[in-house]
Amino acid sequence: MKNKMMLVLIASGGIAFSQTIKKPLVSAITVKDLKTDMYQMAGDHFNGREAGTLDELKVSMWLAEKAKQAGMLPAGDDGTFFQFFDLYRHQVTANTKFKIGSKSYKLWNEVLVAETANIKVEAPLLYLGAASREEINKADVKGKAVVLLASKEGIPEDISLFERRYPGYVKQKYYEDLAQKGAAALIIVADELGEKSWSQVEPQMTRGVYGIEGYRDKIPTPSRMPAFWVHSDQLEFLKTTKELVSAEVVSETYKYPSVNVVGKVEGTDSKLKSEYVLFSGHQDHDGVRQKYGQDSIYNGADDNASTCVAMLAIARAYKKQPGKRTALFVFHGSEERGLLGSSWYAVHPTVPEKDIVAVLNGDMIGRNDLNQAALLGSTSPHENSSDLVNIAKKANDEGPKFELDKLWDRPEHPENFYFRSDHLPYARIGIPSVFFTSVLHSQYHTPMDEAENIDYAKLHKMTEWMYRTGWILSNDANRPQTLKK
């Protein structure tokens, strides 16, 4: 009788234990691990992890080793943790020339080139100054170099990095209309804000534009209309001169290696282990740029070492307690150059696309109010899976209990933040996808985004939220469905 009772107790204890391990193993995620990894990944030794540089390749090696230590198996190409791809960079060269009559302008100092191209222009000036868009559209601009005054009219001033982004918004206001009407060139005269922006945008313009095979991999042929900025002290000259603009923009294309780091923790169910819950973040940042004070290394602690170290922590939890489905971890390269690593992986996945159950992307998850966060892709028109959104909200209710910010997911939000991270290429091909974030802050894309400024309690809560969401997806018999649009 005693032996029978012991067997019953053991059996019932076994049942209780099997039920217990169905819960997410949140205790495996520790602030200590997050902090240790953060100070390593966002340290000065990686020089800001700029895409297409040796620094990006160095941090990729570091990530692969950390992924192995966390218990991941390689899930990249050829049995490795790596998926390499070619990064194309198109850059305006020093052979570029800009003259009005006999007056030559010094490249980057006296004139900025705002459109990467290979083109020669010789055209008369058409000064339209502060003309409205309607007036510009009525003007005969064909074959002319149109001169316009920069203006902040219609540009949201409450956006991050306003000075740095201002010239792009100014150009965007006029460029396509003028190009379609056959203008030979656009010349923008800097206003006060344009002058303030000059030193901010010059390093961006000299860097050029980037692409991958099939997307911005070539300079457009025929070349697009060139666009230039000149200083405000040229205004009177441009108003009165009858001289022609004579310009030649010369650009070259370079090819660099970039890389996604891909690992997995295999699931336990004989059928469901062939399906994948994809955790997504990006490993690169902005490298070494213009100084703020004495610092010129853009360490990218929050953006986006925060999600990378969270993914390592989540992998450790899965290693200790695997789910039924396989957890797939993709540390994307070249996000800062235009979502290039995720765009590459979405088209060239190392697992069958049809077997990716959902994408849980994180970007900037370690700052701002401890009790607030945002889930982008959770409201129309950005939402592509109400099932996935409900699972993420359920995970939040069961764990960190964030107050969810709904403003950042609205299409009219000036930041358009939904379109600026690595979930987007997956969402566009119909894979259920959401974006976890604690949103922007004043040190975004500056050298002050360092490990010491991360709120590690906040980072732990965000990591827990992503993990809990993934854990539900890993073990639910049903897959989240995409919305039909």
Domain count, the chain: 2
The pLDDT > 70 percentage for the chain reads 95
Tell whether 222 is covered by a domain: yes
Decide if pLDDT at 8 tops 70: no
pLDDT of 16 over the 60 cut: no
* Beta pairing class for 372-376 and 433-437: antiparallel
The amino acid sitting at 422 is: D
**96 contacts 78 by C-beta, under 8 angstroms:** no
Answer yes or no: are the C-beta atoms of 29 and 464 closer than 8 Å: yes
Asked if pLDDT for residue 296 goes beyond 90, the answer is yes
Domain limits for position 422 = 24-84+257-475
pLDDT at residue number 484: 80
Smallest CA-to-CA distance from 101 within 145, 131, 143, 133 is with 145
- Measured CA to CA, the distance from residue 478 to residue 484 in angstroms comes to 18
Domain presence at residue 49: yes
118 with 176, same domain: the answer is yes
The model's pTM = 0.93
Whether 294 and 407 map to the same domain: the answer is yes
- Whether residue 180 is contained in a domain is answered as yes
Instruction: Report pLDDT digits (tens) over 99-144.
Output: 999 999 999 999 999 999 999 999 999 999 999 989 999 999 999 9
Per the CB < 8 A criterion, the answer to whether 471 and 29 are in contact is no
DSSP state of 212: B
| Distance (Å) of CA 450 to CA 35, 47, 127, 281, 382 | 12, 12, 46, 17, 31
Co-location of 267 and 170 in the same domain: no
**Letter for the amino acid at 396?**
N
Q: The tokens 């973040």 sit on which residue? A: 281
Q: What is the pLDDT, as a whole number, of residue 221? A: 86
Last residue of a domain, one of 210, 232, 254: 254
Alpha-carbon distance 366 to 361, whole Å? Answer: 14
With respect to residue 18, please indicate whether it lies within any of the assigned structural domains.
no
CB atoms within 10 A of CB 367: 25
Q: How far apart are CA 128 and CA 139, in angstroms?
A: 9
pLDDT at 226: 97
Among 254, 288, 305, give the residue marking a domain's end.
254
Q: Which of 233, 220, 161 is nearest to 192 (CA)?
A: 233
Q: How far apart are CA 304 and CA 53, in angstroms?
A: 17
Do 102 and 143 reside in the same domain of the chain?
Answer: yes
Is residue 349 assigned to a domain? Answer: yes
Residues 195-232: tens digit of each pLDDT? 999 998 999 999 999 999 999 999 998 899 999 999 99
Same domain as 414, residue 400: yes
* DSSP reduced 3-state for 20: helix
- The pLDDT, as a whole number, for residue 485 is 66
**37-54 residue pLDDT tens:** 999 999 999 999 999 999
196 and 293 share a domain?
Answer: no
Q: How confident is the model at residue 6 (pLDDT cuts 50, 70, 90)?
A: very low
Q: Would you say residue 287 lies in a domain?
A: yes
Domain assignment of residue 465, yes or no: yes
Q: CA-to-CA distance for 193 and 167, rounded, in angstroms?
A: 9
- Which stretch of DSSP H or E encloses residue 125? strand 119-129
Nearest-CA neighbor of 335 among 290, 377, 281? 281
Q: Who contacts 238 (Cβ-Cβ below 8 Å, separation ≥6)? A: 100, 125, 127, 147, 187, 189, 230
Percent of the chain clearing pLDDT 90 (strictly above): 92
Q: What is the mean pLDDT of residues 70-83?
A: 98
In terms of domains, do 250 and 261 share one?
Answer: no
Where does the pLDDT of residue 2 fall: very low under 50, low under 70, confident under 90, or very high at 90 and above?
A: very low
- CATH number, residue 47: 3.40.630.10
Peptide bond before 381: cis, by omega within 30 degrees of 0? yes
- Give residue 11's pLDDT: 42
392: nearest Cα among 413, 361, 424, 426: 361
**Nearest to 130, CA basis, from 154, 158, 163:** 154
- Tell me if the bond preceding 222 is cis, omega within 30° of 0: yes
453 and 346 share one domain = yes
Do 447 and 405 lie in a common domain?
yes
Q: What is the pLDDT of residues 162-184, one digit of tens each?
A: 999 999 999 999 999 999 999 99
**Residue 410: what pLDDT?**
96
d(CA 131, CA 149) in angstroms, rounded, equals: 8
Query: pLDDT tens digits, residue range 349-363?
Result: 999 999 999 999 999
Residue in the structure block whose two tokens are 């358009």: 416
Q: Is the pLDDT of residue 18 over 70?
A: no
Q: Are residues 219 and 327 in the same domain?
A: no
Q: What are phi and psi of 130, to 5 degrees?
A: -95, 30
The CATH number for 130's domain is: 3.50.30.30
Q: What is the pLDDT of residues 384-439, one digit of tens each?
A: 999 999 999 999 999 999 999 999 999 999 999 999 999 999 999 999 999 999 99
Last residue of a domain, one of 254, 273, 288: 254
Cα 4 off chain centre by: 61
Residue 170 lies in a domain: yes
Query: H or E segment at 405?
Result: strand 403-405
Number of neighbours of residue 128 by Cβ within 10 angstroms: 18
DSSP assignment of 276-310 equals EEEEEEE--B-EEEEEETTEEEE--IIIIIHHHHH
Kindly report the average pLDDT of the chain as a whole number: 94
213-222, 333-342, 446-455: segment of lowest average pLDDT: 213-222
326 plus 276 within the same structural domain: yes
Strands (E), 130-250: 145-149, 185-189, 209-211, 227-230, 244-249
- Are 250 and 263 contained in the same domain? no
Confidence of residue 13 (pLDDT cuts 50, 70, 90): very low
